[in-house]
Structure 1
Amino acid sequence: MARPVKSARTAQSSQRRKVRRDLAAAALELFATKGYEATTVDEIAATAGVARRTFFRHFRSKEEAIFPDHDDTLERVEAVLLDAPPQENPIDTVCRGIKEVMRMYAASPSLSVARYRLTREVPALREREIASVSRYERLFTRYLLNRYDEHSHLGDEPLLAEVAASAVVTAHNHVLRRWLRRDGQGDVEAALDHAFTIVRRAFGDLPAGAGQRAGAPRAVTDGEVLVTVARTDAPLPEVMRAIERALDQRG
């Protein structure tokens, strides 16, 4: 008896995604042809074939409109974290989670490339993109903090969780930007896997404990905190080599 209700909800969700994507395509087209500042919400709605009030049911502002899939992607990422096998290393789980974000971009390469170029030119869109990405980083930080042993780093668990989450997100963004600059050409998932291999060298052995699921692997550390310095524009391999050198010096 519940099946028709579920089917109706699925249809509504599908229609919602379609409207959001139509609005995003309209916004992107108008921003590219008329310019961001000259484009109005009314024009975006009209181009998409919907009313102004429909636009505001889906987006709060015109800059938000060109990122229609982040909400749904965030839900998929959360599902990856919640459904992770008990024995999986937390860093591996987070790496699997952020792959959902990459798949979102890779599903429409031409749209992603056009959006990337536009966000480079319009500060308001760039700020919106940064805000969207930061939601994933906060989610990963909370997840890792919940998985780390609360007595392993003498109170530095929040720092380590945030740094590790940031490393995973930075690796993802580094690979994504390189792919977008190549017009969406190449095996982006293979490049992402390589970047994650580098991240795991630095963070894969952080201990999980009190917040972890039963059976998750543990590691013993002496509670030290690693601090290293790298340029903000340094390539990811250079950043990771700096971390590795610091680890070698510590040992």
Structure 2
Amino acid sequence: MPQPAKAPRQKTTAGAPASAAGTRAAAQRLKMRRELAAAAMELFATKGYEATTVDEIAATAGVARRTFFRHFRSKEEAIFPDHDDTLVRAEAVLNAAPAHEQPLDTVCRGIKEVMRMYAASPAVSVERYRLTREVPTLREREIASVARYERLFTRYLLGHFDERDHHDGYDDPLLAEVAASAVVTAHNHVLRRWLRAGGEGDVEAQLDHAFAIVRDTFGGGIGMGGPGPSGEPSEAVRESAAPAPAAVRAPAVSVDGDDGVLVAVARTDAPLDEVMRTIERALKERRG
């Protein structure tokens, strides 16, 4: 006796519903953290930091005290709701870096996630900056948050060479730590200047300029390979020092001496920051 035809089985993607649910939960969590932070900042501004209680923050946000403590451990922590998520995004930039990208450039891209966090809400960021200047406890919390980024970037740069290799002439591990600190310092300098200006101006362009200075100081090729145990340059270093093929050579720049016109020639896939650094150097040489 013939069997009835079975309906075709629907294909499902394992983990997809769970993934969607996780994304929604993360979004709801961040939304609540931001609402609590907004309530905290409002009360800090009107009542003062010391006079504000956790119960008042929760009540202003329309939630129970226990809800507050599900998201923050203390009232000073509530003023920085986005740092955990931003740290995750910065780490994701490092983890997804293309193999050909110079590690220092990757770190500069990673810390831009921090700047974008502040730039997304200029008014909130400016008010938070004012509060951290006035309340030492908040300032200490901010310093602790910055230290987490610096540790992340230092670990990333150190991961490109053997930290245990301390023979003469091999200073890359030291250079990695100093360069990571320099990137964070450059970011913080630009951020403070932007906040003092009321959150006005193209902060990302200012950041790119600061990073160009860091690259010129430490060398863009940091972490691409160091000398081997014999003290001779490693294969990666020798390759990076060799003349580049025409297809990947740095953008050529020439100056027309008759009328002072600067003509930049670059491949369409050349990194924009590299093109701008080349133009900047050419202009300095022309004027200098």
Q: TM-score range by the shorter chain?
A: 0.7 to 0.9
1:2-45 CA distance string (max 9 Å, x none):
33222211111111011000000000010111000000011011
Q: For 1:84, what is the secondary structure of its paired residue?
A: coil
8 Å CA contact 1:95, 1:168 repeated in 2: yes
- Calculate the TM-score normalised by the size of structure 2: 0.71
Deviation at 1:66, TM superposition (A): 0.6
Spell out structure 1 runs of 4+ moving beyond 6 A.
Answer: none
Q: How many pairs align? A: 216
CA distance in 2, matches of 1:189, 1:85: 22
Q: Indicate whether 1:86 and 2:99 are aligned.
A: yes
Q: Distance in 2 between matches of 1:175 and 1:153?
A: 36
Q: 1:116-154: CA deviations, max 9, x gaps?
A: 011000000000001001100000011101113655864
2:25 matched to which residue of 1?
Answer: 12
2:212 equivalent to 1:197: yes
1:218: how far off? 3.2
Tell me whether 1:107 sits opposite 2:120 in the alignment. Answer: yes
Which residue does the alignment assign to 2:178?
163
* 1:109 CA displacement: 0.3
**Contact 1:63-1:125 within 8 A present in 2 as well:** yes
Residue of 196, 199, 211 corresponding to 1:181 = 196
Percent identical among aligned pairs is: 75
Shift in CA distance, 131/16, structure 1 to aligned 2, threshold 3 Å? same
Which residue identity does 1:165 align to in structure 2?
A
Shift of 1:157: 4.1
User: Does the CA-based 8 Å contact 1:88-1:217 persist in structure 2?
Assistant: no
Q: CA deviation at 1:159?
A: 2.7
In 1, the alpha carbon distance for the partners of 2:36 and 2:236 equals: 46
Aligned residues: CA RMSD? 2.1
Q: CA deviation at 1:181?
A: 0.5
SS of residue matched to 1:218? helix
Structure 1: stretches of 5+ with no match in the other structure? 211-215, 222-251
1:118 aligns with 2:131: yes
Q: Mind listing any 5+ residue stretches in structure 2 that lack a counterpart?
A: 1-11, 227-234, 242-288
State the match for 2:255 in structure 1: none
- The 2-side partners of 1:130 and 1:171 are apart by 15
Matched, 1:68 2:68: no
Aligned letter for 1:163? V
* Structure with larger Rg: 2
Q: How far apart, CA to CA, are the structure 1 residues paired with 2:236 and 2:130? A: 42
What corresponds to 1:218 in structure 2? Answer: 237
Determine if contact 2:103/2:221 at 8 Å carries over to the other structure: no
Partners of 1:147 and 1:208 within 8 A in 2: yes
Partner of residue 70, structure 2: 57
SS of the counterpart of 1:85? coil
Structure of greater relative contact order (alpha carbons < 8 Å, 6+ residues apart): 1
Where is the helix percentage greater, Structure 1 or Structure 2?
1
- The whole-number CA distance in structure 1 between the counterparts of 2:51 and 2:175 is 44
Aligned partners of 1:128 and 1:100: how far apart in 2?
19
